[in-house]
Chain A
Amino acid sequence: MAANKRFSSIHSRLLVTSLLPLTLLCMVLASYMISSQRTLLLANLKNIGGIAVQQVSSSAEFALYSNNQEMLRDLGESVLDIPSVKGIAFYNLSQETNVTMGSFDLSVLKDQDEDDLVKPFYADHLWYFYAPITREGIPLLDYDEGINPEPEVIGWVVVSLTDEILMEQRREGIFAVLVVSTLGLLIAAWIAMRIGRSISRPLENLTATVDTMEAGNLSIYATEEGPIELRKLASGINQLSTSVRQYNVRMQSEVARATAQLQITLIELEDAMEAQDQFLARMSHELRTPLTAVIGFSKLLAAESDAEKRDESLRIISMSSNMLLTMIDDILEFSKARAGGFTLEKVSFDIDSWMADLIAIHGPRADERGLSLKYSIDENVPKILLGDPVRFTQVISNLLSNAVKFTDHGGVKVSIACIADEDSGVVLHCAVEDTGKGIKEEKIPVLFDPFSQEDTSINRRFGGAGLGLSICKSLVQAMGGEIKVRSKLGQGSVFSFTCRLAAAEAGEPQVKIANPLENRDPDKILSGVTVLVAEDNAFNQKLIVRLLNAYGASCLTADNGLEAIDIAEKLHLDAILMDIHMPIVDGITACETIVEQSGESLPIIGLTADVTLAEQERIKKAGAVMMLLKPVDEDKLISSLIKVLPQSQGREQSSGMGLLSTVVPVDELKKALYENLDKIDIQLQNNENASLRGIIHDLMGLSGLYGMSELRELVMQFRADYGSLNAEVNLRRVEDIRQHIKAFVFE
C-alpha cells in the first residue's frame, strides 16, 4: 500500500518512467561496452602474439637452421621487448629446445598436440602462440622448368604473452564505463527530476484548483504555468469554470421559465383531463342512451305480438343502432385526423350533381323541422372538378347536419363560389348559413377543438360526440384550406371554409355517389357467389350467413383461422369475410397464410370492432383488400362484396347444389356421410363408444367443410347429447340425421 501510494503521484511515475529505461539502457550499454572491450583487447593480444610469432618464425629460419643460439637469443630479446610478451622458445623438430627465454612453462608445451598448435592456447594466465619455422629454397635459375620443392619445417617458435596487461586494461575499461554510466545516470536523474517537477507542480496546482471548484467555489482561477499542454489545460479549466458559472445562471432562469411553463401545461393538462372526463362521461351517456333503447326495445320485441308495435320497436332499435354507429364512425374519423391519416383521392366529379344528392339526403330532416334548405353554386365554379368528392361533401354534409340540427326556424343555405382560379387549380369558398340560435362569442375559439361543444346541454339535447367540427377542420386543412365561423347569438351562424381543387379536363370520367344496391334485385345480386364467413362468434356468423344468403350467396363457415385456411386451401371461394380476433389462429395470420397460398386473387374483407388505425393497417398489411367495422352495416357489407368481386361474379344463377356440385362429386360426399353414420350405428349397437367421438368429429368436419350448416348443427347436438342417452334413442337420432341428409342435402 505504501509503495503504491509512493508511486501514485505523477512526479514519482515520471521519475520511474524516465529513469528505469535509462538505467536499463546504461546497464545494457555498459555490459556491451565491457564485453566488446574484452573481445577487442583479447583480439589485440592475439594479434600482437600472432604477428610477433610469425615475424620471429620467418627471421629464425637461418638461426635455427644454422643452430645459431646467439642469433636466436637476439631474436628472442627483440620479441621480449614487446610489453605483453613474457617468454619465447625455439625448438627444432626433435622437440629439443634450442633457446628458451623469459617465463615459460615448458611442461604446458609438452601437453599440447602439434595439430592443435595452429590456434593460440591459454594456460596459467599465459597465451601461447605457435608458428612453424620453415626452410624454403629459392630457385635463382634462369629458364627454370622444374617444380619448386615444398617448404620444409625445421622447427617451432613459441611466444607466451601474459594477460596481466589485458586484465589491467579491462579493469580500467570497466571502471571508465562505470564512471561514465553513473555520471550519465546522475545527470539524467537530475534532468528527469527537473522535468518531472516542472510537470507535476502545475498539475498539483490544477488538481487543487479543481478540488476547490468541486467544493462549489467557481470563482477561483487556475494558474497557467508549466508546459504548453498544462497551460492549455489550465486555460481550459478556467474557460470551463466560466462556462459553468454562466450556465448556472442560465439554468436558473431556464428552470424558472420551465417551471412556469410546466405550471401552465399542468393547468392545461388538468383542463384537458377535465374535458376528457367530461367527454367520457358524455360518451358513456350517449352510448348508454341508444344502447338502453336497443336493449329495452329488443326485450319488448320478444314479448310483443302486435305487428305495429313490433315494427315501431324495430324502428327504434334500428335508429338507436344507427346513432351508436354514427358516434363510433365519428370517433374513427377523429382518430384518423389525429394520426394525419386522411388520404385524399383525385377524381373528377360534377359538383352540382353531388350537391344535389347531398341536399336530397338532408332534405327530409330539414322538412321534418320545417326548415328551408337551399344551395347555390356560383357561375364561376367549374362544373367538373378534380379532387376527393367524398371528403369535400363530407365537410359540407357535417356543417349542414349541424345547421339543421341547431336551427329551429328559418332555413339553411349552402353557397359555393370560386375565389381564385390559378394554373394549379381553383380555390372554392363554401359557406353554410343558418338562422339558428347562434354561438356564444367566447365559445367560438374552442369550437373546432375535439370533444368541445358549446355546452354540455347541447350534447344532452342534440347528441353527438363533439368531434364533427374537429374532423371538418382536419379535412379542410388536408384539402389546403381553412375553416371559419361567424355567428351572432340569436341570429344564426355562418360556417365557411375554403379548399383547393383542380378543374378537370373535359371528357374525364366522372365519379358519382356510388350505391351498389341501386337498381339491383337483392335476391339475385350475389347469386353464384361462394363466400367463406370466418367468425368465431356464432351469432355474428349466423347473422352474416343469413344476410348473404338473402342476397343469393352460398356461404361456408369457419370457427377459427385454422379452419378458414383449411377451407380456402381445399375449396373454391369467391371472397372471404375474415374476423380478426379468432381462437387457434387469428385472422391476421389466416389472411397472410391464405394470401400466400392463393395469391392476391382471392379477396379478403377484414371484420373488426377495433377502430384504431393501427389495427386497420395491420389487417391491410396481412392481405385484406378492405376492412369493415363491426357492427356490420348491411349495405356496406353487400356493396363492399360487390366491389371486391370480379365483374363477372354475382350474376350467375346458382345451380341448386351450388357449392357441393362444384367442389366434390355428390356421390362421394354422400357415400362418406353415410359411411360415417353407419360406423356410428355399429358403435352404438355394439355399445363401443371408444371411437364414437372421433367418427362424430369427422362427420362434423365434413358438414362444416361443405357448408351444410343445419346438418352440422344436428351433429353437434348429437355429440352433446349421445352420452346421456341410451343406445336406442341415439340410434334414432342417427336415423334423423340420415333422413335430414336425404331430405335437405342431396335432394
Chain B
Amino acid sequence: MIFFNPSQLVKLARRSAKCWLASLLLLVFTCSYAFADRKYNVLFVASKPSADYVEVLNSVKQQLEKQSPERYEFNTVFRNSELNLKTDLAAADFVVTIGTAAADTVFSTRPKAPILSVLITENAFSVLTEKHYGSIEAAFAAQVSSICLDQPVTRSIQLAKLLVSDSSGVGVMLGPASVHRQPELSKYITNSGLQPQFVSISAKDNPIHKIEPVLSRSDVFIPISDSRLINIATAKWILHLSYRHKVPVIAFSKSYLKAGALAAIYSSPADVAEDTVDWLLNSTSATVGSSNKPAYYSLNFNQSVAANLKIKLQTEQFYRDHFSQEAK
C-alpha cells in the first residue's frame, strides 16, 4: 500500500491541475480552429420556382458569396420537390424559407437549425408558428425567425403627412389581425398632426357600408395589411370608393398600387434579399428566434392616379430622405 504526505498531495494536485488546464486549452484551440475553417450550410426552401422567389434566393447567394466568400455553401429545395427535405434540413446550418407554403412545410418538420422565414406576412407567420410550435414564443425559442412583408405603418403615415396638409383626416382600415394596433397608430397619427379616422372590418361586414363613411371623410386612406380574406374582400371597394370620393390610398403592395392606389410602400424581392443577407451574416447557431420588421423598403407612385387627383408628387428620394430624418 502506497501513502502520500500532504506536500506530495498538493504537488500532485497542482501537477494534475496543470495537465487538465493544458488539455482544456488544447481542446479550445482545436475547436476554435475547426469552427473557424468550417463552411455554413444554408438551405433555401422556396414555395415555388417563380421569378420573385428565384430572384430572392439568387440575390441572397450572390451577396453572401461576395461579402463572405468561402464561408457559406448553399442548397436549394422547392417545396414541390421535397424528396430529401428531411436529410437536407438535418445537414443545414441555417434554413431560409421563402414563401408561406415553404414555411409551413419546414415548420412541420421542426428542424434543429435556425430558421428564417421571408416573403411571409406577419399574420401568416403568426398563424403558422401557432400551428406548428404552439405559440410564436415557442417558435422563437426553437430559433425560428421571420422578416415579414409588412412594412411599418409609420412609413405610410409619414408619407400621408407629406401628401396632404396638416390637420387632415387620415382614414385607416384595420382588420381582425391588426385591430389591436389602433391605439398605437392613433397616437402616432395624432402626434404627426393629423386626424385619425379608423374603420375596423370583420369578415361578416359589408365593407362598402363600413368603409365609405370613413373614407368619404378622410383626405388620405391607409389600409393596414390583415388576413388574406380581409385584404381580398376590401381592396376592390377601397379602390372603388377612393375613385368615387377622390381620396388617395396608400397601399402595402405593388399590386395594390397598380390597381389604383396612389402610392405603395412594400418589400421588393431585392429588399427581402438584403434583409436576409443581413440576418444570415449576423446570425449564429445560437441565434434566438424573432419577428423582424423589414429594414429595406420600396416606394412607388401611380402617376396616373396622382394626375387624376391633381396631387403633385416629389421625387422618391425626397420621401426616402424624409423617412430617414424621421427615423433619426
Q: Which residues of A contact B (CB under 8 A)?
A: 62, 65-66, 136-146, 148-149
Closest A-chain residue to B257, C-beta based? A140
Indicate if the CB atoms of A138 and B235 lie closer than 8 Å. yes
Option from B149, B228, B235 in Cβ contact (under 8 Å) with A146: B228
Which of the residues A137, A141, A145 comes within 8 Å of B101, measured between beta carbons? Answer: A145
Find residues 218-235 in chain B having any chain A CB closer than 8 Å to their own CB. Answer: 225, 228, 231-233, 235
**A143 contacts B99, C-beta separation under 8 Å:** yes
In the complex, the chain A residue whose C-beta lies closest to that of B244 is: A62
What residues of chain B lie closer than 8 Å to A146, measured between beta carbons? 228
A contact residues around B240 at 8 Å (CB): 62
Q: In the complex, what residue of chain A is closest to B231 when comparing beta carbons? A: A141
**A62, A65, A145, A148: most-surrounded residue (chain B CB, <10 A):** A145
- Contact among B206, B225, B255, B259 for A65, CB-based, below 8 A: B206
Q: How far is the CA of A167 from the CA of B48 in the complex (A)?
A: 60
Known: A139-B231, A140-B231, A140-B259. A145 touches B208 (CB 8 A): no
Most buried by B among A65, A140, A144, A145: A140
- Measured in the bound complex, the distance between the Cα atoms of B255 and A139 in whole Å is 8
* B47, CB-defined interface residue at 8 Å: yes
Q: How many residues of B contact A (CB 8 A)?
A: 31
A363 → B minimal CB distance (Å) = 146
In order of increasing CB-CB distance, the 6 nearest A-B pairs are: A137-B232, A66-B208, A140-B256, A140-B235, A140-B255, A142-B253
| Inter-chain contact A145/B100, CB cutoff 8 Å | yes
Q: Which B residues touch A141, using CB under 8 A?
A: 121, 225, 228, 231-232, 253, 255
Indicate if the CB atoms of A140 and B100 lie closer than 8 Å: no
Q: How far is the CA of A141 from the CA of B149 in the complex (A)?
A: 10
Given A65-B208, A66-B206, residue A142 in contact with residue B237 (CB < 8 A): no
With a cutoff of 8 Å between Cβ atoms, the chain A residues found around residue B255 in the complex are 139-142, 144
- Give 19 A-B contacts (CB < 8 Å), ordered by A residue: A66-B209, A66-B212, A137-B233, A137-B235, A138-B259, A139-B228, A139-B255, A140-B235, A141-B253, A141-B255, A142-B254, A142-B266, A142-B267, A143-B52, A143-B99, A143-B149, A144-B255, A145-B48, A148-B232
Most chain A Cβ neighbours within 10 Å, of B235, B236, B256: B236
CB-based contact A140/B251 at 8 Å: yes
A66, A136, A138, A141: residue with the most chain B Cβ atoms closer than 10 Å: A141
Chain B's nearest CB lies how many Å from the CB of A68? 8
Contacts of A149 in B (CB 8 A): 232
Partner of A145, one of B99, B232, B253, B254: B99
Shortest CB distance A58–B (Å): 13
B215 contacts A by Cβ under 8 Å = no
B287-309 Cβ-contact flags toward A at 8 Å (1 or 0): 00000000000000000000000
The reply on B119 being an interface residue by CB < 8 A is yes
Residue of A nearest to B232 (CB): A137
Contacts of A66 in B (CB 8 A): 206, 208-209, 212
Residue of B99, B206, B232, B256 ringed by the most chain A CB atoms within 10 A: B232
Can you name 13 extra interface pairs (CB under 8 A) apart from A142-B255, A148-B232? A62-B240, A137-B235, A139-B228, A140-B251, A140-B255, A141-B228, A141-B232, A142-B52, A142-B266, A143-B119, A143-B149, A144-B255, A145-B47
Known: A62-B237, A137-B235. A142 touches B149 (CB 8 A): yes
Chain A residues whose C-beta falls within 8 Å of the C-beta of B256 in the assembled complex: 140
Question: A500 CA to B310 CA in the complex, in Å?
Answer: 141
Alpha-carbon distance between A658 and B7 when the two chains are bound, in angstroms: 185
Residues of A within 8 A of B266 (CB): 142
A69 nearest CB across to chain B (Å): 14
| Chain B residue, CB-CB nearest to A149 | B232
The answer to whether A62 and B149 touch across the interface, beta carbons within 8 angstroms, is no
* Cα separation A144 to B267 with both chains bound (whole Å): 13
Question: Which residues on the A side are within 8 Å of B206 (C-beta)?
Answer: 65-66
With beta carbons under 8 angstroms apart, the residue of A62, A139, A142, A143 that contacts B232 is A139
A730 CB, min distance to chain B CBs, angstroms: 138
* Residues of B contacting A143 in the complex (Cβ-Cβ under 8 angstroms): 52-53, 99, 119, 149
* Residue from the list B52, B236, B267 in contact with A138, Cβ < 8 A: B236
Query: Chain B residues with Cβ under 8 A from A65's Cβ?
Result: 206, 208, 237
Bound-complex Cα distance A252 to B106 (A): 132
Q: How far apart are the CA atoms of A145 and B208 in the complex, in Å?
A: 26
B96-115 interface (Cβ within 8 A of A): 99-101
Measured in the bound complex, the distance between the Cα atoms of B259 and A112 in whole Å is: 39
A62 adjacent to B208 (CB under 8 Å): yes
For the complex, what is the distance from the CA of A148 to the CA of B235, rounded to whole Å?
Answer: 13
With both chains docked as a complex, state the minimum distance between the C-beta of B108 and any C-beta of chain A, in angstroms. Answer: 16
The answer to whether A144 and B254 touch (CB under 8 A), given A65-B206, A65-B208, A66-B209, is no
Q: How far is the CA of A149 from the CA of B232 in the complex (A)?
A: 9
Q: Closest B-chain residue to A68, C-beta based?
A: B208
Asked if B236 and A137 sit within 8 Å, CB to CB, the answer is: yes
Closest Cβ–Cβ distance, residue A153 to chain B (whole Å): 16
For B235, what are the chain A residues with a Cβ–Cβ distance below 8 Å?
A: 137-140
Cα–Cα, bound, A136→B254 (Å)? 20
Q: A276 to nearest B CB, angstroms?
A: 131
Q: How far is the CB of A90 from chain B (nearest CB, A)?
A: 16
Chain B residues whose C-beta falls within 8 Å of the C-beta of A136 in the assembled complex: 236
Residue of A nearest to B268 (CB): A142
Residues of B within 8 A of A140 (CB): 231-232, 235, 251, 253, 255-256, 259
Q: How far is the CB of B173 from chain A (nearest CB, A)?
A: 13
Knowing A62-B208, A62-B240, the reply to whether A144 touches B228 (Cβ < 8 A) is yes
Q: How far is the CA of A146 from the CA of B119 in the complex (A)?
A: 13
Interface residues of B in 31-75 (CB under 8 A from A): 47-48, 52-53
Report the minimum CB–CB distance from A184 to chain B (whole Å).
Answer: 59
Tell me the minimal C-beta distance from B256 to chain A in angstroms: 4
CB of A154, distance to nearest CB on chain B (Å):
10
In the bound complex, CA of A65 to CA of B48 (Å): 36
Taken together as a complex, chains A and B put the C-alpha atoms of A66 and B232 apart, in Å, by 17
Which residues of B have CB within 8 Å of A137?
Answer: 232-233, 235-236
Residues of chain B contacted by A148 (CB below 8 angstroms): 232
Measured between C-beta atoms, what is the minimum distance from B127 to chain A in Å?
Answer: 12
CB distance from B254 to the nearest CB of A (A): 5
User: Chain A residues near B232 (CB, 8 Å)?
Assistant: 137-141, 148-149
Task: Find the A residue at minimum CB distance from B230.
Answer: A137
CA distance A145 to B49 in the complex (A): 12
Q: Which residue of A lies closest to B266 (CB)?
A: A142
Q: List, in ascending order, chain A residues with CB within 8 A of B99's CB.
A: 143, 145
A272 CB to nearest B CB, Å: 129
Contacting A at CB under 8 A, from B74-126, are 99-101, 119, 121
CB-nearest residue of chain B relative to A139?
B232
- When distances are taken between beta carbons in the complex, the residues of chain A under 8 Å from B121 are 141
| Bound Cα distance A659, B232 (Å) | 139
Cβ of B210 to closest chain A Cβ, rounded Å: 11
Residues of A near B236 (CB, < 8 A) are 136-138
User: Can you name the residue of chain B whose Cβ is closest to the Cβ of A148?
Assistant: B232
Considering the chains assembled together, what is the distance between the CA atoms of A679 and B53 in angstroms?
140
Once bound together, how far apart are the Cα atoms of A254 and B210, in whole Å?
129
Write out the residue numbers on chain A whose beta carbons fall within 8 Å of the beta carbon of B267.
142
Collect the chain A residues with CB atoms within 8 Å of residue B253's CB: 140-142
Complex CA–CA separation, A66 to B209 (angstroms): 6
A199 to B209, CA, bound (A): 89
Nearest chain A CB to B327 CB, angstrom units: 24
- Interfacial chain A residues near B231, Cβ < 8 Å: 139-141
User: Min CB distance, B107 to chain A, in Å?
Assistant: 15
Give the chain A neighbours of B52 by CB distance below 8 A: 142-143
B60 to chain A, nearest CB (A): 15
A142: chain B residues within 8 A (beta carbon): 52, 149, 253-255, 266-267
How far is A142 from B231 in the complex, measured between Cα atoms in Å? Answer: 12
Min C-beta distance of A408 to chain B, whole Å:
154
B64 to chain A, nearest CB (A): 22
CA distance A146 to B266 in the complex (A): 19
Q: Provide the B242-280 mask, 1 if CB < 8 A to any CB of A, else 0.
A: 000000000101111001000000110000000000000
Q: Of A62, A137, A143, A149, which is in contact with the most chain B CB atoms at under 10 Å from its CB? A: A143
- Determine the distance from Cα of A141 to Cα of B52 in the docked complex, in whole angstroms: 13
